[in-house]
Structure 1
């Protein structure tokens, strides 16, 4: 039984994200994610200016006048949402946790996809695959996916991106759009990640929170790693401690960004304290300009 609070969240999210899809992201999505190829639709008589390379010589010979083949872009695609629901996603220093932000962005992507008659599927993961819902079309299906993102209780305690992507690669035989939403608090995922990028159209949504990057001066505070359970006590009033913490986080961020760039992978950094509209719009437009 779904609680009233969850139903209220889903309804509010549907209204907010569908408005963004109708006004901003629906058209951007269609332009940014091209179909997988061209499919034959019909033959028609040749008219001046047509590409002579498309002449159908068999039909032309039978009718004693030139006919050409007409092709249309194969529009239907599959969008697979791979969402990290490990404990580190429960952190949020502003109005949303990282996980809630990931759910909202994935809802935008899902509603954009069904607006363009694409199928949408879902894989939720921690250090194991928690739930898989095969791709289908339709608004009811997308609402089910959102419900599952809100209500699925994870059993794993850490993050294994490689395990999730390995499952996706086995599940989807045809090239698809894979949206990976995670804070990327993981190691040694690169091999499977690169395989997925070659096989599919992989988009990495890196969900971040500013408080995880720069410590405020709060004095002596305990820090708990949500995924390992390890607790560390640090003195945040010590400027050297704050500087060293910031350097360490920045180094990890730079390594991840350089990895994406080096391997020509799409990625979007999105923070819990900022609107995701601008970074997502910029991402779509960069893709459109690229093609």
Structure 2
């Protein structure tokens, strides 16, 4: 038995049958609409000055359509050489493509219980909503379609991909206003649903804290699904976190509630051993998830509630450009 019962993980809950079942339409609270407007104001300038161009540079190649072959010319990218035609004719030929923009971007937003946490001025779910806004606005400025999947341990809400600023504002509103029916997390279920929803290759941004059951297993249950989906789609993990989750304060006995199971336990945080074990456990979980991303070739963006998300987002785009990926 673990010396720290409160660190035990529950068994993964079974995902409910996937269904695009939005909540009954009701008036959106004023404070939510105010948040939507504030997020739009904060992100509009960033998208116009930074992210729209970065997004186009990184993802433009995913909408390339073959047009013809022509004879190789000085300066052509050797990666575009058509070796079959070259061997048949005896002269180097390259494939010429035309850009077929209009990619499909899906935002998979985790609204499980652990996302309703924050100690740096906002919840993780609010940070996820703002990052989703930047990504969605960048996509529509580049004539791409954007859709939304809100998930917990089931598919809670689905908005089909569309274009336009008003559509993006609706997505932001839905993330901020939605009240999920469940508190658990099933990343694999959300990925599988998104893959079945998109008939062609798309871009999947998964915004989550990525701490489901089995995070410390050498091969978490969701790794297999992530690997399969990443072979067909461009999957990017956006991991949102809060610094206070990584260490316990020295504050005596605290009653802590697991946001996903509701289990309430008392913890003596005055014990240095308890605090150390807790910090080590969290660090091990984060390292385990990072190894999964590396193994399956999925890029990771780390964002914290108490820090600017601009730096990690820009770092991701520029890393992609250097790698010349996809």
- Distance in 1 between the 2:98 and 2:75 partners? 15
Q: Give the match for residue 118 of structure 2.
A: 92
Given that 1:128 and 1:156 are in contact with CA atoms closer than 8 Å, whether structure 2 keeps it comes out as yes
- Distance in 1 between the 2:136 and 2:102 partners? 14
- Quick check: 1:106 aligned with 2:135? no
Q: Give the match for residue 323 of structure 2.
A: 290
- Distance in 1 between the 2:163 and 2:37 partners? 19
Q: Give the match for residue 26 of structure 1.
A: 52
Change (3 A) 1:113 1:221: same
- Distance in 2 between the 1:41 and 1:190 partners? 37
Shift of 1:199: 1.1
Shift of 1:238: 1.3
Unpaired runs of 5+ in structure 1?
Answer: 55-67
Post-superposition CA distance 1:128-161 (Å, at most 9, x none): 1011111111111111111111111100120111
Q: Give the match for residue 265 of structure 1.
A: 298
Change (3 A) 1:169 1:38: closer
Given that 2:250 and 2:270 are in contact with CA atoms closer than 8 Å, whether structure 1 keeps it comes out as yes
Q: Give the match for residue 65 of structure 1.
A: none
TM-score of the superposition, structure 2-length normalised? 0.79
Q: Give the match for residue 142 of structure 1.
A: 168
| 261-270 or 110-119: bigger deviation | 261-270
Matched length = 275
Given that 1:35 and 1:77 are in contact with CA atoms closer than 8 Å, whether structure 2 keeps it comes out as no
Shift of 1:107: 0.5
- Asked which structure has the greater CA Rg, the reply is 1
Change (3 A) 1:118 1:37: closer
Q: Give the match for residue 218 of structure 2.
A: none
Shift of 1:99: 0.5
Given that 1:93 and 1:211 are in contact with CA atoms closer than 8 Å, whether structure 2 keeps it comes out as yes
Post-superposition CA distance 1:221-271 (Å, at most 9, x none): 011101011112111111111111101111111111111112221011111
- Distance in 1 between the 2:114 and 2:48 partners? 32
Change (3 A) 1:239 1:287: same
- Distance in 2 between the 1:96 and 1:32 partners? 30
Shift of 1:50: 9.8
Given that 2:248 and 2:269 are in contact with CA atoms closer than 8 Å, whether structure 1 keeps it comes out as yes
TM-score of the superposition, structure 1-length normalised? 0.89
Given that 1:35 and 1:76 are in contact with CA atoms closer than 8 Å, whether structure 2 keeps it comes out as no
Work out which structure has the larger RCO, using CA pairs closer than 8 Å and 6 or more positions apart in sequence.
2
- Distance in 2 between the 1:141 and 1:253 partners? 34
Q: Which of the numbers 31, 36, 43 marks the counterpart of 1:10?
A: 36
Shift of 1:70: 6.6
- Distance in 1 between the 2:212 and 2:112 partners? 11
Q: Give the match for residue 124 of structure 1.
A: 150
SS at match of 1:36: helix
Shift of 1:36: 2.6
Given that 2:242 and 2:306 are in contact with CA atoms closer than 8 Å, whether structure 1 keeps it comes out as yes
Q: Give the match for residue 183 of structure 2.
A: 157
- Quick check: 1:178 aligned with 2:212? no
- Distance in 2 between the 1:135 and 1:166 partners? 17
Given that 2:154 and 2:182 are in contact with CA atoms closer than 8 Å, whether structure 1 keeps it comes out as yes
- Distance in 1 between the 2:212 and 2:45 partners? 34
Change (3 A) 1:101 1:50: closer
